[in-house]
Amino acid sequence: MNKKTIKDIDVNGKKVFVRVDYNVPFDDKMNITNDTRMVRTLPTLNYLLDHGAALVIACHIGRPTEAREDKFSTKYLVKHLSELLGRDVKWASDCVGAEADAAKAALKPGEVLLLENLRYHKEEKKNDPEFAKQLASGCDLAVDDAFGVSHRAHASNAGVPKYIETVAGFLMEKEINYIGKTLENPQHPFVAIIGGAKVSDKIGVISNMIDKVDTIIIGGGMAHTFDAAKGLPIGDSLCEPDKYDLARELLKKAEDKGVKVVLPVDLVIADKFAADANTKTVDVDKVPDGWQALDSGEKTSEEYTKALEGAKTVIWNGPMGVFEFDAFAKGTLAVAKAVAKATENGAISIVGGGDSVAALKKTGLTDKISHVSTGGGATLEFLEGKEMPGIAALADK
């Protein structure tokens, strides 16, 4: 990685603006239900504090509308963040303006200030230069540890670096190294597993992966579009008819490049989209009208597992079925087990994207994977090979 990290700068006695991704889920009593994103930033925050910095932490929660919806306030993060850091976190009821400026000015080394939701200001998403300048004011340096928003050119990640030097935190560095280096120079055999509902969401990833991998496994709802494009009956399964030509093009591209494509050979089908639906397993060319495929079948799981044997690099994005329902989670679990086994046998494995991470969590195999990415859309765009504004803005070594 040719970008500077926090190890390349002296932070002693400095005020450091830290952009994190604390867009965490809450229950109806405003308790945090999954703090993974917060915990993942602790190495960065603790390193800065241990080296004599004062921290000004900025983040967003949700997608607030014009009004400042209370449920998106960062004040609900303060208690838990204080517990995680083992020190009292101060809070400012806005991220710019007189109160924020005064709170920054009063900060001493070892102290932490959390700013109110950046997205309460529409200038954040517009990457407004004046807003970015206000965010940076009163700070000596900036650290970006928010990989999850690095595919967006917002004021807090792409604008602030125009005013103060901005470097990568440990989490950002890990994401860039793991995904970036793996894609640049992968060990072969290289297998990509692409699942999820829609081909349209993953066109760029599939196309980019065909240029790099030896085998591509296509599962989940998007597989039905490929099957239908090949003339197979898919019943009432999820499908994108306007993507048939594209599916055929991608299959042709894979064939021309000598890339093996593994599609389902059997499917678990249901008579309705529900946890208590009647189900049966049929061959991929035997889906009757009125039924819909909601998971891959056992023979398919065996094919997927076989395709992962001996792999040295594995990238997985998207579940193999409607994993939220236990009846349709078996295909995803089989893939998780096969990826964990490949990792145990020496493969580098990367799992990214919101659904994949949730599915992996359900299998209990998260700690058996080399790297679980914190980004959803960011991971996808990184895998597509697109330039990421938040990474491009970081200071070069």
Tens digits of residue pLDDT in 330-347: 999 999 999 999 999 999
pLDDT tier, 357 (very low <50, low <70, confident <90, very high otherwise): confident
Say what percent of the chain tops pLDDT 90. Answer: 80
* 40 assigned to a ligand binding site: no
Ligand-binding site membership of 61 (annotated): yes
pLDDT at 234 over 80: yes
Q: Identify the band that residue 327 occupies on the pLDDT scale cut at 50, 70 and 90.
A: very high
Q: Confidence class of residue 92 from pLDDT cuts 50, 70 and 90? A: very high
Q: Are 135 and 95 in contact (CB under 8 A)?
A: yes
360 pLDDT tier (thresholds 50, 70, 90): confident
Q: Tell me the two tokens of residue 338.
A: 């096969």
CB atoms within 10 A of CB 255: 12
Mean pLDDT confidence for 313-318: 93
Q: What are the chain's domains? A: 6-171 (3.40.50.1260), 179-384 (3.40.50.1260)
Q: Indicate if the pLDDT at residue 231 is higher than 80.
A: yes
pLDDT of residue 378: 85
Torsion of CA 374, 377, 382, 384, to 10 degrees: 140
Structure confidence at residue 1 (pLDDT): 63
pLDDT of residue 126: 96
66 has a pLDDT exceeding 80: no
pLDDT digit string, tens, across residues 149-198: 999 999 999 999 999 999 999 999 999 988 888 888 899 999 999 998 88
- Tell me what percent of the residues of the chain surpass a pLDDT of 70: 99
Return the exposure string of 344-359: e unless at least 16 CB atoms fall within 10 Å of the residue's CB, then b.
Answer: eeebbbbbbbbbbbeb
Backbone torsions φ then ψ of 73, nearest 5 degrees:
-75, 140
Give mean pLDDT, residues 368-397.
87
Is 355 within any annotated ligand binding site?
Answer: yes
User: Which residues are the active-site residues?
Assistant: 37, 198, 354, 377
pLDDT in tens, 239-258: 999 999 999 999 999 999 99
**356 annotated as ligand-binding:** yes
Q: State which amino acid sits at residue 304.
A: Y
Please tell me whether the overall predicted TM-score, pTM, comes out greater than 0.85 for this model.
no
Confidence (pLDDT) at 194: 94
pLDDT score recorded for residue 354: 66
